[in-house]
Amino acid sequence: MHIKKLAHCCLVIDIPSAHGKNVRILTDPGMYSLEQHDKVDGADIVLITHEHQDHFHIESLKALIKRCPDVSVISNDTVGALLAKEGIEHRIMLDGNAIEAKGVKIEAHGSLHAVLHSSIPQSSNVGFLIDGKLFMPGDAYTDPKKPVDALALPTAGPWMKMSEAIDYGLQLKPRIAFPVHDAMGSAFQNGFIGRILSQNGVEFVNLENGASLDVA
């Protein structure tokens, strides 16, 4: 599995298939990655964790579908309702669902966004376990209750603090973790979180925008 970070929570994931051709997955194409994901000229699957603008941008998704008419769009119920209004074909996944999409196993875990404030109702959010290896939790600290090899770890945002990111990484104890949801963060935050995780047996790769890593 080859993972390239475009920006924030937008990743391009290439997974070798049995037919010798990679299956390409694009995750959470939102406002903070417009410039980067608008240049993606090939995708087989798009995964969207929830409807917030930093994860979901409808106009760029429409443009992607024009470039890649066979792309499969997968998300939760809230995003699904928005896609239905636009006449965009999609598949809804809820907590506990598991499917095989174009030869890749995808599991859905979690149902709610992390608490922003007690006065604000929690929105829907679903995390995706991809190919049994990479967990993308979206904006939540969901425990999938199974081993996670690689974790896309949210490290900054109005709904979290650094200690929560660290505790989540220690709870799931993946073999490797890298930062996402960090457009509002800093190099200090990622470095601080990564240092503590690394001291506790979690390899932390401080993946910057445009950089890549391979997960065997």
- Radius of gyration for the alpha carbons in the chain, expressed in angstroms and rounded: 16
Task: Return the pLDDT at 24.
Answer: 97
Q: Which residue has the tokens 């939102």?
A: 30
The superfamily (CATH) of domain 2-214 is: Ribonuclease Z/Hydroxyacylglutathione hydrolase-like (3.60.15.10)
Is a pLDDT exceeding 80 seen at residue 94? yes
Instruction: For residue 78, name the pLDDT band (cuts at 50, 70, 90).
Output: very high
Beta strands in 87-171 (DSSP E): 91-92, 98-101, 104-109, 127-130, 134-136, 150-154
Q: Are 145 and 135 in contact (CB under 8 A)?
A: no
For 127-149, what is each residue's pLDDT tens digit?
Answer: 999 999 999 999 999 999 999 99
Q: Which residue has the tokens 């298939």?
A: 17
Q: Where are the domains of the chain?
A: 2-214
Instruction: For residue 195, name the pLDDT band (cuts at 50, 70, 90).
Output: very high
pTM of the model: 0.96
How big is the CA angle at 208 (ends 42 and 53), to the nearest 5 degrees? 65
Is a pLDDT exceeding 90 seen at residue 212? yes
Q: Which residue has the tokens 């443009």?
A: 63
Is a pLDDT exceeding 90 seen at residue 216? no
Mean pLDDT is lowest, of 52-56, 111-115, 166-170, 194-198, for 111-115
Task: Return the pLDDT at 18.
Answer: 73
Q: Are 110 and 97 in contact (CB under 8 A)?
A: no
For 111-123, what is each residue's pLDDT tens digit?
Answer: 999 998 889 989 9
SS3 106: strand
CA distance 188 to 207: 13
Q: Are 34 and 26 in contact (CB under 8 A)?
A: no
Chain-wide mean pLDDT for the chain? 96
For range 197-212, the mean pLDDT: 97
Task: Return the pLDDT at 156.
Answer: 96
For 8-65, what is each residue's pLDDT tens digit?
Answer: 999 999 999 877 789 999 999 999 999 999 999 899 999 999 999 999 999 999 999 9
Q: Are 83 and 75 in contact (CB under 8 A)?
A: yes
